[in-house]
Amino acid sequence: MRPRLRLVAELAGPLSLVVVVAVAGSAMSIAQQGNAINVLVTATIVVALYVFIGNSGVWSFGQISFVAVGAFAAGLLTSPTATRQTSMPTLFKFLATTQISNTESLVLAAGLGAVFSFLAGLVLMRLSGLSAGIATFAVLEITYDVLTYWDKIGPGATTLALVPVTTSMTVGAVGCGIAIVVAFAYQHTRSCRLLRASREDPVAAQGLGISVFRHRLVAFTISGGLAGFAGALFVHELGSISTGQVYIDLTFATLAMLVVGGAGSLWGAVLGGMGLGVVDAFLSNAENGVAFGSVNVTLPNGMRVVILGVLMVVVLIIAPKGVTGSREFLERFLSKRPGRAGAGNKPGGSLAGGASVADDGSQAVPSPSRTQS
Amino acid sequence: MPDQAAEGDAVNLAGSGDAVGGAGAPPLSGSTGGLVCSEVSVAFAGVRALDKVSLSVNRGEVVGLIGPNGAGKTTLLNVLSGFASTVTGSVHLDGQDITHFTPQRRARLGLERTFQHGRLFSGLTVRENVELGALAVRASSRSARSIADRLLANLGLEEMADLPVAQLSHGDQQHVSVARAVAATPKYLLLDEPAAGLSEGSMAELGVVIERAIRESGAGVVLIDHNVDFVLKLSDRVVVLDYGEVLAEGPSDEIRRNVDVVSAYLGEAGVEDLAASQAQ
Amino acid sequence: MSWVSDLVNAISLGVVYGLVAVSVGLVFGVLRQVNLAQGEVIALGAYSLWMTRGLPVAASIAICCVVCVAMSLAIQVAIFRPLRGASALTTLIVTFGLSYALEAVWLIAFGPNGEPVSMLSSLNSVVLGGSIALRWITLVEIGASGLFFTGLVLILYRSKIGMMMRATAEDFQTARLVGVRIDRVVTWAFVFGGLSAALVAVLVTVQSPLVTPSFGFNLIVIGLVGVVLGGIDRLGRATAGGFVVGFVNSLLGAVVPEQQLVFLPMLTFLFVIVILVLRPAGLFTPRGSIVERV
Amino acid sequence: MNPLLRLDDLRVTYGRVVAVKSVTLEVNEGQAVCLVGPNGAGKSSTLLAVMGAVRSRGDVLLRGTSTRGLRPEALAHLGVAMVPEGRHLFQTMSVQDNLSLGTLARRQGKRARIDERWVTELFPIIGQFASRRAGLLSGGQQQQVAIARALLSDPDLILLDEPSLGLSPVAVDAVFEVLERIRGVGVAILLVEQRAQRAIRFCERSYVLSDGEIRLEVTGGAVEDPQAVVEAYFGR
Amino acid sequence: GASTSSPGGSPSTTGAKSPIIIGAVIDETNTMKPFDVPALNAAEIQASQINASGGVDGRKIVFKVYNDQLVPALTRSDAIAAVSAGASILWVSCDVNFATPAIQVGLQHKLLTIAPCIGTDQMGPSLFGPAGKLAFSYGNAPQSDGAVLARLLIQHGWKTATVVTDKLLTYFTDVCQNFSTDFAKMGGHVVSQLSYTTGDHTVTQVASQAAQSGAAATVLCTTTTPDLPAFVTAVRTLGNAKPIVGPWAIDGGFWEPSNPAISTNIWWSTFASVFGDDPSPQIRALEAEMVAKGEAPVTGGFVTGPAAVQGIVTAIKDAGGSLNGTRLAAIMQTFHDVNTISGPVSFSSTYHTVVGRPYRIIEDTAGKPHFVEILTPGPLGS
Ligand SMILES: Nc1ncnc2c1ncn2[C@@H]1O[C@H](COP(=O)(O)OP(=O)(O)OP(=O)(O)O)[C@@H](O)[C@H]1O
Ligand SMILES: Nc1ncnc2c1ncn2[C@@H]1O[C@H](COP(=O)(O)OP(=O)(O)OP(=O)(O)O)[C@@H](O)[C@H]1O
Ligand SMILES: [Mg+2]
Ligand SMILES: [Mg+2]
């Protein structure tokens, strides 16, 4: 009973948060709706990060590359071919002429993200710790460099404009929901459980027969797929994209969300993504001035970032495992209480019963079985 | 002494464990069976940790491995399980040459080990740790869970099943790491000082769990421990290692009687342990 | 002869990043934690040079040192003390948050344009002219960082405090048990960290005088890449790693055809990936030494 | 006269888990006292609490003065050394460096009773492997270095948490010999051991700890009533 | 919400007529602040003067300002907020990449969308397709920047040049490319083409090569990033004291090392001199007013703000008071030498960014930038 309840809560918690944001967002002004959609899309990216980072315990600074690839692919192929040919004359022919629907672009972006991350993962997934962090960061830099300067595959250093804006509140919410369901389903696979164990002690995992590389690669690929998908949502939310938007700033912003929420749980990822997203949106409004009743509060320009940074630092110092403690929704209440206060009367019935050594009395200090204490 | 070791080597090279001393448990498999390493040498920065050591263990048999600190016991276990880096010689598992297999691959062939120093998944709970032992090889989630529950009950750990292992005392952690290895229902089980730091009662429980694993899955066990009594009790055959060489080898009884041979190793503490059990 | 000047330039850039790497490696050497906010210490040091531009050079440098050490210590008290024992990556993320916030503070305080520091700009003049173009600053950098580095290595590996630092790095709980007053030790590490930041601030602003809000972050990111590339465990390896990143980047920049130069970052980072995949523990970490006992 | 160490109603909890309920005991100068008990009884927790490494309630008095609020390093400098459970060497540092770190807490102006020559003689492997990285030694070798490191601070009181863990029988003998010798020069010992029999025989006073409580006190090293010890282990 | 300014002070006396709301989505925090804010400040002064003299057919111009902080999603939602707040003209940041999310909102709502100082020629149909007909920038097209620099070199007898391109932005590449073509056409000779990308750490290297190339002048297309002072320092200390010439993006002088031996013989083109010596009294007055308000502009780009306001007003008047974006845009596209404070402004169906407007040439001598002359780039392709 309990385990099933836990499972339901684990999925229902994050999903209901999506619904709350979507519903609350829809009730707001049209400009604020944009912010709410952005919160949903950003949370999708955070979920994608979580699938790899949260489950493998390896920090990747490269997931935004997959977002970038997804965003540019989806954006490019849905933008009008006519302007593509005038504003991007150097494009490869098939990129200049192919036109796909927005839905197709979501699928394509997810696929590309998965393929790209799979290939990168083949090379990188043997690394751990800081080396993995730096190597994935290198992937981000490389992706950025190529996308910015190779004008045969995209707009290069200029903006990709005229992408159809189709990520409505509903699409954003459904997209985020899909990512959450995928992440949830994945984290209950055998592969993921083994991966989660291996992050605690890779050597012991090897000894048990767990191929850390293989399971990491699976997580990396799924994460890359979700990231590409999120990239497509992102580009269809903004209607345009330039490489600077899917680079270091977004990387660190989403990582911050993940850590603040709690990198070890899906609930943490979603809560962190949505929570910081909302705070961010609020702060940016506050820089333009918000009215609290009759009092008009305006934050000095630039304070948004200061506050976000400080918030992140403070949360992590107080709660290094994030505000959720890296636990799933309601996990604390639904799981059996650990702890055995007093360690007292344990049920007996040990099969050993101190049989061979302790009972013969021949020793000066026989040590009876612990279980009988 | 060197003669004896050499003889043991020669016999083991032939690949049949039961020839040694003759008193070991009868092997379950044919002459190609068993976990066998032959003429293994390992050196670290010029220092020989193992020098042409051969060892074999058959299904259903417990081979004790004793020897002074630094004798090379753990290194030998590393060789068997694939964790040693520089190896000459070969390792075979049921006739298959596994010398160059990774630890993962060996584990999937049914070779499980414990580590001298914990190496539990410290953030996970006791139950999860044990379940993973089963899950890592082949078991489904459900069967892993039932295996874990049974093992924990056997060890009297069910009370702690939902605690993170980091919160367990040292002795309890030792239990969990054995349970994790046993949960994989291994063909061969390599235990590195599982009884270190256990009170004698807990040690007895441990003995029962090991015996049960042998009974149920016919596992062959290599058991390292410094509690000679514990090792002799459980083992069919005992190998004494010193300075990377096999110093003596034979059935437990023989080693037990042959206190002289190993007094260099046993010292007062060992003799005391032995005396206690001989009084039985 | 242009390859000579390319080489000189490459060495010069290498030395800068070597020095940044010392700065990062030092704190890591004591705490096994990464301090990304070290970049902001450097930035503040550089801004202090600008603010004291009216003063004599020596006074300006002295103030820069004081400012850097003070800020370094403040970071230690506010961030590293509460996070003692946390993993390298946790502190990486936390100190990232801090740099993020501090960068915004610089933006508010000093504006996005940047402020030029022209102290010591005469050091840019050439020692050997012609096609070699060896500058005084390059020599000063090599000399100063060589001295600083040697000093640190002596302290870390030859002195008692150094031994305590290494012990703290390894296992601070046990270090306490044997009587290491770790608060003091850590404080010293941050003092040295602050000094190295000041040194970086002074030397870098000679060649690259404009101090912008992202001044420190840009340096530290590449520095960190270098540190990990070289082998973060040892100061020497980390420093060499920093040097290599700078050197390789600069050399590639000279070799790559002008049209393809935009792909220089790609090439540099490809190099980083290749090295990391081949030598995960660092380019200069001997193969044998990473074997972990199981 | 005050005892060297006195634990007064010591209590250690980890969150909701009570590891030590109530422990009161004394160790006099130059005396060996041991703490035995089943796994999970709270022995390690008791030692850690003495060292100030975990939070505790109750009082720990060193030479009659409370050590409340003192950190481990401060206690080390007051002449308390500890051999923690399991290997806690500085793995990447050489054996020699590990030992040098042991001498940090030596009090100045006092002639050391225990020096490096002394420990090298007791543990020959130390001389043999002095320049080797400590992490590469075998388990038992590391344990010996850990004991040597603690001794080198020339403490008045040494806390040993299962010093025989992972040691071969001869090495265990060596450890007890070492303990004998340091007791001989006036070092007080608080010992936690699973080799209960031997520990009790060695010590002037022994306590059986179970479920975080002292169940039995044995003085004089001889066990008159083994049955009582058994019961103490079981918990009455 | 957003900060609303109703320049002109006194409450409207014209009563019923509703104001013309310009929604400005700009950066007041980040790296575009030095460009966006002075342009807006100057535009507000201009608007207040218009308002004071009766407004546009009695309607006041009101700016509603949103700080987008260069965050893409925010840029978009700010633009939406501006539109829903009744803006009939959208005013965006001076970098086309950062501004696009806002621009597209404006275009989608068929508003006249104006950037005061975007310097690429993308603000228009070339990037935004047919919808881009509504988009204009009052900045100079890179073609003009390049052409005027070529003219500057020729005029001063610098017949050979080393061209250094920072590949960071399309704008830089465009300027240098246009310079090279025009320079060659005018009889100059490009000795060597060098490039780097801001932040790729090769600037010292490139500077060494440039210093030794032997050309009469070095043309550098970049902005005031950390690499610019490093470049200048490196070139000068290698003993090369020849002119270094750059486009508007290096205007301001604030970046120059205070060493007078380094910061000398540096030339650039700009919209107006911010060093107090601009030949136009109008501009000097405007500048003085801004300084008095504590809003001293950093670069000459600020005049594009009031110029844009003047252009908008002209278009509205021509349209008979209509605020219909399509109509206004159609009129604006036909601008030919429309007089503004920044000089004559012309647009065409290909160029929605200003071409052919006269430039101020500034020279920095020993750390003191000063106005030198006015140069007109001449018709494109000459
Ligand atoms: N990775 C290594 N590098 C260097 N030396 C090593 C390494 N592993 C083991 N050794 C050395 O090899 C010898 C054998 O070590 P091993 O761990 O096998 O001993 P052991 O018999 O298990 O001892 P113990 O009973 O103390 O655990 C020791 O001298 C040890 O120092
Ligand atoms: N860090 C911790 N967090 C939570 N509980 C802990 C922690 N450390 C120990 N415990 C609990 O406290 C109790 C006492 O542990 P302790 O380690 O003191 O026992 P011990 O007597 O030393 O046992 P052993 O002989 O097995 O080493 C145990 O029940 C253990 O589970
Ligand atoms: Mg061993
Ligand atoms: Mg213990």
Looking at the predicted structure, is the pLDDT value of residue E83 above 70? yes
Q: Is residue D125 part of a domain?
A: no
Could A341 and D233 be called an inter-chain contact, meaning their C-beta atoms sit closer than 8 Å? Answer: no
Q: Does the pLDDT at position A339 exceed 80?
A: no
Q: Are A208 and B164 inside 8 Å of each other by CB?
A: no
pLDDT band at B215 (very low <50, low <70, confident <90, very high): confident
**Structural domain boundaries in chain A:** 2-246
Q: pLDDT band at residue A349, thresholds of 50, 70 and 90?
A: very low
- Cα–Cα distance measured from residue E351 to residue A327, given in angstroms and rounded to the nearest whole number: 58
Q: Evaluate whether residue D211 is within a structural domain.
A: yes
CA-to-CA separations, E223 to E33, E173, E253, E300, E368, in angstroms, rounded: 14, 12, 11, 14, 19
Interface of A with D (CB under 8 A): 339-344, 358, 361, 363-370, 372-373
User: E166 by DSSP, 3-state: which?
Assistant: strand
> Which residues have CB under 8 Å from B148's CB, separation 6+?
B127, B130, B131, B133, B134, B161, B179, B183
Point out the ligand 1 atom lying closest to the alpha carbon of residue B116: 27
For residue C292, the model assigns a pLDDT of 54
The residue-averaged pLDDT of E34-42 equals 94
| Cβ-defined contact of C125 to E256 (cutoff 8 Å) | no
Atom 16 in ligand 1: residue holding the nearest Cα: B72
Predicted pLDDT of residue A368: 32
Q: Look at A204 and B120 and tell me if their CB atoms are within 8 Å.
A: yes
Residue in D with minimal Cα distance to C172:
D90
Smallest-distance ligand from the CA of B172: 2
pLDDT the model gives residue C182 = 86
Residue E323 corresponds to which amino acid?
L
> E295-310 pLDDT, tens per residue?
899 899 999 999 999 9
pLDDT at residue B118, as a whole number: 72
CATH number of the domain enclosing D217: 3.40.50.300
pLDDT for B21 beyond 60: no
Q: Please, do chains E and D touch (3+ CB pairs < 8 Å)? A: no
Which of C2, C194, C211, C1 is closest to C80 using CA atoms? C194
Chain A nearest-CA distance from E170, in A, is 6
For the domain spanning C2-278, the CATH number is: 1.10.3470
User: Does D145 fall in a domain?
Assistant: no
Which residue, E97, C214, E99, E28, is CA-closest to A284? Answer: E28
- Contact (Cβ atoms closer than 8 angstroms) between residue B182 and residue B129: no
- Asked if D236 has any chain A CB less than 8 Å from its own CB, the reply is no
Which ipTM value was assigned to this complex? 0.88
Mean pLDDT of the C225-240 span:
88
> With an 8 Å Cβ cutoff, are E33 and C111 in contact?
yes
Is pLDDT above 60 for B132? Answer: yes
Among candidates A4, A29, D72, A83, which has minimal Cα distance to E128? A83
Of B69, B172, B267, the CB nearest to D140: B69
Cα–ligand 3 centroid distance for D48 (angstroms): 26
Rounded distance from Cα C288 to ligand 1 centre (Å): 15
Q: Would the CB atoms of A312 and C94 count as touching at under 8 Å?
A: yes
How far, CA to CA in Å, does B244 sit from each of B38, B72, B247, E7? 14, 5, 9, 92
Given a cut of 90, is residue E360 above it in pLDDT?
yes
The pLDDT of residue E334 is above 70: yes
Tell me the average pLDDT across B197-219.
84
Q: Give B19's pLDDT tier (boundaries 50, 70, 90).
A: very low
* pLDDT tens per residue across span C238-268: 899 999 999 999 899 888 888 888 899 999 9
E292, pLDDT greater than 90: yes
C85 CB neighbours in chain B (<8 A) are none
Rounded mean pLDDT for each run of 10 residues along chain D, 236 residues in total? 87 88 91 91 92 90 90 92 87 90 81 78 86 86 90 92 87 87 90 88 91 86 68 61
pLDDT at A287 over 80: no
CA distance B73 to B115: 12
Per-residue pLDDT of E166-189, as tens digits, reads: 988 888 999 999 999 999 999 999
Residue with the bigger pLDDT between A256 and E112: it is: E112
Tens-digit pLDDT profile for residues A1-44: 467 888 898 999 999 999 999 999 999 988 889 999 999 999 99
Q: What pLDDT is recorded for position B32?
A: 62
User: What does A21-34 look like in DSSP terms, one character per residue?
Assistant: HHHHHHTS-HHHHH
Pocket test for ligand 1, best of B40, B41, B44 (most atoms within 8 A of CB): B44
pLDDT above 60 for B9 = no
Burial of D18 (0-12, 13-18, 19+ CB in 10 A): buried
Percent of the residues in chain E that have a pLDDT greater than 90, as a whole number: 72
How distant is the Cα of C85 from the closest Cα of chain B, in angstroms? 15
pLDDT of the residue at A352: 24
Mutation test residue for ligand 2: of D44, D50, D55, D210, the one with most atoms within 8 Å of CB: D44
What's the CA-to-centroid distance between B49 and ligand 3, angstroms? 11
Task: Reply yes or no on whether the pLDDT at B140 is more than 80.
Answer: no
Domains, chain B, ordered by start: 35-279 (3.40.50.300)
Q: Does B41 touch chain A (CB under 8 A)?
A: no
The pLDDT value recorded for residue C289 is 54
Cβ distance A341 to D15 less than 8 Å, yes or no, reads no
Specify the number of domains making up chain D. 1
Q: Which ligand minimizes its atom distance to the CA of D137?
A: 1
- Average pLDDT over chain B reads 79
Give the confidence band of A366 by pLDDT, cuts at 50, 70, 90. Answer: very low
* Residue D131 located in a structural domain: no
Report chain A's mean pLDDT, rounded to a whole number.
85
- pLDDT, position C29: 77
The average confidence (pLDDT) of chain C is 87
| Domain span including residue D56 | 5-86+155-233
Residues written for chain C? 294
pTM: 0.88
Q: Which B residues in the span 195-234 are in contact with A, Cβ-Cβ below 8 Å? A: 199-205, 207-208, 233
Cβ(B58)–Cβ(B28) below 8 Å: yes
Between residues C249 and C290, the one the model is more confident about: C249
The residue of chain B nearest to residue D196, with distances taken between CA atoms, is B199
What pLDDT, on a 0 to 100 scale, did the predictor assign at position E379?
Answer: 60
Q: How many residue pairs bridge chain A and chain E with CB atoms within 8 Å of each other? A: 105
The DSSP line for chain D is: ---SEEEEEEEEEETTEEEEEEEEEEE-TT-EEEEE-STTSSHHHHHHHHTTSS--EEEEEETTEE-TT--HHHHHHTTEEEE-SS--S-TTSBHHHHHHHHGGGPPTTS--SS-HHHHHHH-HHHHHTTTSBGGGS-HHHHHHHHHHHHHTT--SEEEEESTTTT--HHHHHHHHHHHHHHHHTT-EEEEE-S-HHHHHHH-SEEEEEETTEEEEEEESS--S-HHHHHHHHH--
